Structure 1
Amino acid sequence: MCVRTLVGSETGETMSTLSDSKQTSGKLSRAKEKYMRLHEEKLEKQKLLRRREQEKNALYLPDLADDVLTASTAHYSQLLKKLTKYYEVVRRSKTYKIFFHTTQPTHIIMIVAVLFVASVLVPTKERAQVSGHSYSTAASFIYLTSFVIHFGAQIWMTFVSGLSLYFALPRHAFGEVQRVLFPRYFTINACLSLTTLLIFVKHHPAYMWDVEIAIQVGAMSGAFFLELLIRLYLTPPLLQLIVQKNNLERAAGVGNEIGGHNAGPLKNCPHYLKIHQAFRRVHVTVAMGNMLTMAFTVLHLYYIASKLCVL
């Protein structure tokens, strides 16, 4: 009897404990539901207030900026895809192979550039009679813009982008970046140099030249021809050497070091050493040409600073 009574009492206590826990969990769930309902109502009120503010202002700039950014990004992506398709079609054409896989078009472009600049620099009677001291604001704006962009690109590429990426990226990643930047860099710089030269010569005809102006024309012409020579004759072999060197290094498991060069097992390979020496030779030539064009640009910057009358 005592045992049965104890068992019964324990069973009753267990049932009461279970009922209490159920009641507690029920209270907690109801409190949680109530809190969630209040939170949702608060969010709905905030959305309603925001919508009313938007309707009052009729132009909500953050949302408009997000929409414009999203739309412009989507359109830009579609444009790039279309241009990529057209570029792939052009790459398979015979004209592209003639222009970019043979040296004759390079010589033609260089000859045309030399003849064009010579025709601009050499004075003629008609040009001497027509030319005067007419200075337009638009021409001055284009002249200063092209020169400033040119000089800024040289400073950024030489002292900021190149050094920063060299000491921050693995060597192969840095090489891939340079493969993309080098052709664009020298193409843009050559176009900007030519623009600066043409506008400067237009406002300073040859019959008005003194020693100072002749030096400036020579410096700008030298910068243009150097950048064009580097783009046409040195950049393509440099890119090919980068590809060949990187392929050999990947096969040997090297090229991921940062801020230095470690040939690893390739240091005794004659073929790799030959490619590496050719790469270093072309790269040093390109770097020296770039520094020389920068010196020409700084010389013209000093000339512009000496002629400023706004300070």
Structure 2
Amino acid sequence: MSSVPIAMPTEGEPTTFAKLLHLMFLSTFWGMQIWVTFISGLIMNSNLTRHTLGLIQSRLFPYYFQLGSACAFFNLTIFAIHHPSELLNEEETFQIIIFFICVTVAGLNAQWFGKITSDIMADMHLIEKSCGLGQDIGLSTNREAYDQLKESNPKYKTFSHQLTLYHNASSLCNLCCIICNGISLYYMAVNLSTL
């Protein structure tokens, strides 16, 4: 029985294990993003009461943001280990910048925007409960009542503006990570043999 020589990785060349880890972290983050953003988020928004949706998001999103941030960090780390800065070509430099952007915005979402959004939403829900609101499905079904609450309660109006600001910032970070991971998946598909 003849033995097939196993090629050892040269310096900078990723091992199969490194490729597997990189693929696992990237696909985990991408899959979570697609599921949370485009599937479960839309289904829950159209089928759950406002307060139930807020409660689920306040419990789910910290894990989603933290796990996504960790996946982005490990992707950057694995890629950087196997692509020393002095040997980077243009394409690899672009890819490492994409990973760095993803780590940064995922970290912002995990440590700041996501947390503040959940805190503001919880404060708003307390005010809404005291006014008998929050059991409607989605905001559009009872928009007038929420608009009246904004006009009659300055604190609620301030929370509403803050929620819009931080929710939009969090959504923008999430979208940026989706784009970065989409680019990274394309890069990985083009360079399957290396990383």
RCO (CA 8 Å, sep 6+): is it higher in 1 or 2? 2
User: In structure 2, what is the Cα distance between the partners aligned to 1:213 and 1:152?
Assistant: 24
After TM superposition, the structure 1 = structure 2 runs for residues 237-276 of structure 1, keeping only pairs within 5 Å, are 237-261=116-140, 262=143, 264=145, 265-269=148-152, 270-276=154-160
Structure 1 residue 199 and structure 2 residue 78: aligned? yes
Counterpart-to-counterpart distance in 1, 2:58 and 2:24? 27
Alignment match, 1:65 = none
- Indicate which of 162, 165, 170 corresponds to 1:281: 165
Q: Which runs of 5+ in 1 are unaligned?
A: 1-130
Residue 210 (structure 1) aligns with = 89
The CA deviation at 1:135 is: 2.8
Output the CA distance in 1 between the equivalents of 2:182 and 2:87.
Answer: 23
* 1:186 Cα deviation after fit: 0.8
In terms of Rg, which structure is larger?
A: 1
In the alignment, residue 132 of structure 1 is paired with which amino acid? E
8 Å CA contact 2:12–2:81 kept in 1: the answer is no
1:300 deviates by 0.8
Find the aligned partners of 2:186 and 2:62 in 1 and give their Cα distance.
28
Task: Give the structure 2 partner of residue 157 of structure 1.
Answer: 36
Whether 1:223 and 2:106 are equivalent positions in the alignment is: no
Two-structure CA RMSD over aligned residues (Å): 1.5
CA-to-partner distance for each residue in 1:193-215, whole Å, 9 max, x for gaps?
11111111111111111111111
Q: What are the residue-to-residue correspondences of 1:19-58 with 2, within 5 Å?
A: none
Instruction: Flag the structure with higher helix content.
Output: 1
Deviating 4+ runs (over 6 angstroms): none
Measure how far apart 1:240 and its partner are: 1.4
**SS of aligned partner of 1:167:** helix
- The size of the alignment, in residue pairs, is 179
After superposition, give the CA deviation of every residue in 1:222-264 in whole Å (9 maximum; x if it has no partner): 1011111121122222121111100000000111111324361
TM-score normalised by the chain length of structure 1:
0.55
Q: Aligned partner of 2:187: which letter?
A: Y
In structure 1, how many angstroms separate the alpha carbons of the residues matched to 2:159 and 2:14? Answer: 52
Tell me what 2:26 maps to: 147
Give the secondary structure class of the aligned counterpart of 2:136: coil
Identify which of 183, 186, 193 aligns with 1:302. 186
**Aligned with 2:47: secondary structure?**
coil
Cα distance between partner residues in 2 of 1:210 and 1:135: 16
TM-score computed with the length of structure 2 as normaliser: 0.87
The residue that corresponds to 2:115 in the other structure is 236
- 1:178 is displaced (CA, Å) by 0.5
Quote the residue 2:60 is aligned against: 181
Q: How does 1:55-70 map to 2 (within 5 A)?
A: none
Give distance in 2, aligned partners of 1:135 and 1:221.
19
Identity of aligned residues (%): 26
